[in-house]
């Protein structure tokens, strides 16, 4: 039996009850564990909530996402690296991606809205050394406009091919911001298979085996 994991469920609300019902929906969908995601400003608050939910028996963990727009953002990284959280970096340019892969982040998120490739073979070689993974948010893909979606799929498919060529695991997460946006694991695997053109087994691994091994390796659960 596969253990499905959704690494990114955004927690914009600090209401514990709302989060509890969101997690309940996720569990009902068949997820084994869920990552409660936030930006660095809300890290402490999210960690508190996660701690409370974990004590209630929920299988959740803190997942942090940092957008890397300029080198200035790298300053806060050293502090965050020491914390026991699932850390993802979202580089917004190729230069930032090359810097991001050198950091010990759990995953590199491929942004949807952009015009150029941000993940090339140089990044892939470096990421392979650090045992990182490439992550894609499906809800962002599903929500994007027709033209942007076309461009995003073209670029992400190429980036996924590059990553797979170097044996880097591809991880797929929902990136849901609301309860209604949570996706069923079978649907997530189907979208990954169709949109990212990855084989069925790899698509299923991208929501189960790969994230599970990252969680176990980091001791997040």
For residue 75, give the 3-state DSSP assignment.
Answer: helix
**Cβ distance to other proteins smaller for residue 47 or 174:** 174
Q: Does 139 bind other proteins (CB under 8 A)?
A: yes
**Cβ distance to other proteins smaller for residue 154 or 200:** 200
CB 125 within 8 A of CB 146: no
What single string gives the DSSP state of each residue in 139-187?
A: HHHHHS-HHHHHHHHHHHHHHHHHHHHTTPPEEEE--BSSGGG---HHH
Q: Does 212 bind other proteins (CB under 8 A)?
A: no
Segment near other proteins (CB under 8 A); pick from 9-17, 33-41, 50-58, 136-144: 136-144
CB 160 within 8 A of CB 198: yes
Segment near other proteins (CB under 8 A); pick from 65-73, 78-86, 110-118, 138-146: 138-146
Binding mask 24-63 for other proteins (x = CB under 8 A): ----xx----------------------------------
Give the span between the Cα atoms of 110 and 133, in whole angstroms.
Answer: 11
Any alpha helices (H) in the chain, and if so which ranges? 16-29, 43-55, 77-81, 94-100, 121-129, 138-143, 146-165, 185-195, 200-205, 209-218
Q: Does 195 bind other proteins (CB under 8 A)?
A: yes
Q: Does 194 bind other proteins (CB under 8 A)?
A: yes
Which residue matches tokens 């090359």? 98
Least CB distance from residue 91 to other proteins, whole Å? 25
Binding mask 174-193 for other proteins (x = CB under 8 A): ------x-xxx-xx-xxx-x
Name the site residues for other proteins (rule: CB under 8 A).
28-29, 139, 142-143, 146, 180, 182-184, 186-187, 189-191, 193-195, 200, 203
């Amino acid at each position: 039996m596969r253990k499905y994991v959704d690494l990114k469920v955004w927690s914009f609300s600090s209401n514990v009850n709302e989060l509890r019902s969101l997690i309940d929906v996720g569990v009902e969908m068949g997820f084994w564990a869920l990552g409660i995601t936030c930006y660095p400003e809300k890290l402490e608050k999210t960690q508190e909530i996660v701690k409370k939910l974990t004590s209630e028996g929920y299988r959740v963990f803190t997942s942090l996402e940092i957008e890397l727009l300029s080198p200035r953002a790298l300053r806060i990284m050293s502090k965050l690296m020491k914390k026991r959280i699932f850390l993802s970096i979202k580089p917004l340019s190729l230069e930032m991606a090359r810097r991001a892969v050198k950091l010990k982040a759990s995953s590199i998120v491929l942004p949807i809205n952009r015009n150029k490739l941000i993940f090339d073979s140089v990044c892939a070689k470096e990421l392979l050394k650090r045992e990182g993974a490439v992550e894609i948010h499906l809800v962002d893909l599903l929500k994007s406009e027709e033209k942007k979606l076309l461009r995003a799929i073209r670029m992400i498919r190429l980036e996924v091919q590059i990553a797979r060529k170097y044996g880097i695991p591809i991880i797929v997460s929902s990136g849901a911001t609301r309860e209604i946006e949570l996706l069923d694991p079978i649907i997530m695997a189907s979208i990954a298979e169709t949109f990212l053109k990855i084989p069925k087994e790899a698509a299923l691994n991208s929501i189960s085996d790969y994230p599970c091994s990252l969680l176990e390796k980091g001791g997040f659960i």
